[in-house]
Amino acid sequence: MSGAAADGKGPFPEEGQWPVLVLGGSGYVAGEMLRLIAAHPRLELAGAISTSQAGEQIAATFPHLAPAYPRQCFVTLEAAIERLGAAERSVLLSAAPHGASAEIVAQMLDAAESAGVTLTVVDASADFRFADPEAYAAVYGHPHAAPERLADFTCALPEHLKSVETPHAAHPGCFATSMLLGIVPLVATGLVDGEFYVSAVTGSTGAGRTPRDTTHHPLRHNNLFAYQALKHRHSPEVRALTEAATGRPIGLHFAPHSGPFARGIYASIFARHTGGLTTADAIEALAEFYRDAAFVRVLEDPPRMKDIVATNYAAISAAVDGDTVVVHSTVDNLVKGAAGGSIQWTNRLLGLPEHLGLTAPTAGWL
């Protein structure tokens, strides 16, 4: 089994930079991983893996990253595997599509073990979010490609897990991140009856790089529409991860929406509280739950998405009326909901400060 010790104090150097391989290198999430690696004081890009763009310059696909990677090119999987032997310990960040990530991750872990080197993996795809391969198959409609590796991964928001007992981690999906931030504290503190109703709006980058009807600009601009209402694949993920974090099952009724903006998610989470709750009580409970969470801002007023876009921060707030409580939660789908959360996990698995390389604020007036 490759990877860091569960307590983050494994055989890793206290100084120097960690070589990082990025899988799925030409997608939006991978682009954000590359941006964050470039600004991280302890991580260094060892290779961006892309089958479709191998040999092409990173800056040609991501012109905004040209100052960070003026000459580096995408590499093939075979070339990345060869590079595993260049360092005793490396990191793999996977932004490959679900259904493709598991097989490649397993192949790279096998190669690392054969080479006698340590490879720590953080997967931003859906392939290691379910501990049970049957649960994965039920949601995604095909067998899991590497069920023997599932036990090596823990999936959770970093804020919801104090210690990690596995060598690798998987980050929840972007919608799931926005919902879990509001749902888990309410369930963990026993403030609600366990039945949740969620309406959430996401930006077009959440649909990936390939153009389609839901992302094509003339259809998305100045428009708003729901899709996959009450049957979105993140619903079973949120139910499973909430129960894992709190020990309590929940009901979830989720209606996602496509918004006329590029990035960000804004979720409104409704539930019945168990009695005697005020708005001030709800906000205080959230603030106490996230007291030590560097990236979660608990506000008295509803959060605004522009204040956190392009950052690893999340902003949440709450309101109570009668027996109803609503939590508003907003994250950047590409950062806190994917690439930034993955870097946060990387920091933890390497025994680095969890906030390292992730504290830059957003640009105002985007």
- Which residues are the active-site residues? 174
State the SS3 of 21-77.
Answer: EEECCCCHHHHHHHHHHHHCCCEEEEEEECCCCCCCEHHHHCHHHCCCCCCCECECH
Q: Which residue, 71, 41, 47, is CA-closest to 57?
A: 71
- The answer to whether the beta carbons of residues 352 and 43 sit under 8 Å apart is no
Dihedral sign of CA atoms 18, 177, 26, 152 in order: positive
- The answer to whether the beta carbons of residues 269 and 235 sit under 8 Å apart is no
Q: How far is it, in rounded angstroms, from Cα 208 to Cα 188?
A: 33
Q: Which residue, 238, 248, 265, 233, is CA-closest to 191?
A: 248
Whole-angstrom CA distances from 79 to 21, 112, 330 are: 11, 13, 39
The residues, any chain, with a CB within 8 Å of residue 210's CB and separated by 6 or more, are none
Per the listing, tokens 């509001």 go with 182
Whole-angstrom CA distances from 298 to 186, 327, 364 are: 14, 10, 20
Per the listing, tokens 């979660």 go with 296
